[in-house]
Amino acid sequence: MDIQTLGNLGEFIGSVAVLVTLIYLAVQTKQTVKTVRQKSHSDILSRRQDLMTQLMDREFIEVWGKGCSRQKMDSIDAQRFTSYAVSFLSHVQDTYIQHREGLIDKGIWEAELALMASSFRQPGFQDWWEHGQQFLIPEFARELEKSREVHFVLYDPETRQWSRPPDGQFARDSRK
């Protein structure tokens, strides 16, 4: 074998090595994207669970219900309502940003938006929104404005049934 043949063989082996490396990097990149998306999804579910856990506390749900239905609250309860609303909206805003950046799919974003809409349609929350939207990026606030028409299901303790109140109020408040 002469030098030129060895050079050609080396060039061929080098090309194959580059091709194998590119295939390996493509597979690794695809796996990394998949892992990042799964992590984003897990983070969203974890934050949602943390927020929902607060709504399992009877005392807190009474404060949230008061705020959403325009009942009188003292300054402590008003602050608790505001703090929860900002936390919840920050969570949904992060979900929106992740969706916009392609880290989560449309279905996850729509599920969070539907969850948000159940609060957004409450009269007290709408009152709060006039001032509370300042804590969000404007693009996201506009997106939320569009979400008001999403339907939701609530439990009516008097009839012991789940319903979709047409007036957008919590089941216990819809009879007022």
How many residues can be counted in the chain? Answer: 176
Distance CA 72, CA 111 (A): 31
pTM: 0.68
pLDDT category, 156, cuts 50, 70, 90?
A: low
Q: pLDDT value at position 136?
A: 92
Distance CA 165, CA 171 (A): 7
Greatest mean pLDDT range, 47-51, 145-149, 158-162: 47-51
Q: What is the mean pLDDT of residues 106-128?
A: 83
Q: pLDDT value at position 19?
A: 92
Estimate the share of the chain in helix, then strand, then coil, as percent rounded to the nearest 5: 75, 5, 25
Indicate the DSSP class of residue 40: H
Q: What is the mean pLDDT of residues 70-82?
A: 93
Q: What is the mean pLDDT of residues 134-162?
A: 74
pLDDT category, 21, cuts 50, 70, 90?
A: very high
Phi-psi domain of 150 (left: phi exceeds 0; alpha: psi -120 through 50; beta: other): beta
Q: Average pLDDT over the chain, rounded to whole? A: 83
| Residues in CB range of 44: below 8 A, 6 or more apart | 91, 94, 95, 98, 104, 108, 112
pLDDT category, 112, cuts 50, 70, 90?
A: confident
DSSP string for residues in 16-30? HHHHHHHHHHHHHHH
Q: pLDDT value at position 162?
A: 66
| 33-37, long-range: CB < 8 A, 24+ apart | 36/103, 37/103, 37/104, 37/105
Q: Terminus-to-terminus CA distance in the chain, angstroms?
A: 96
Q: pLDDT value at position 76?
A: 95
CB-based contact 62:129 (threshold 8 Å): no
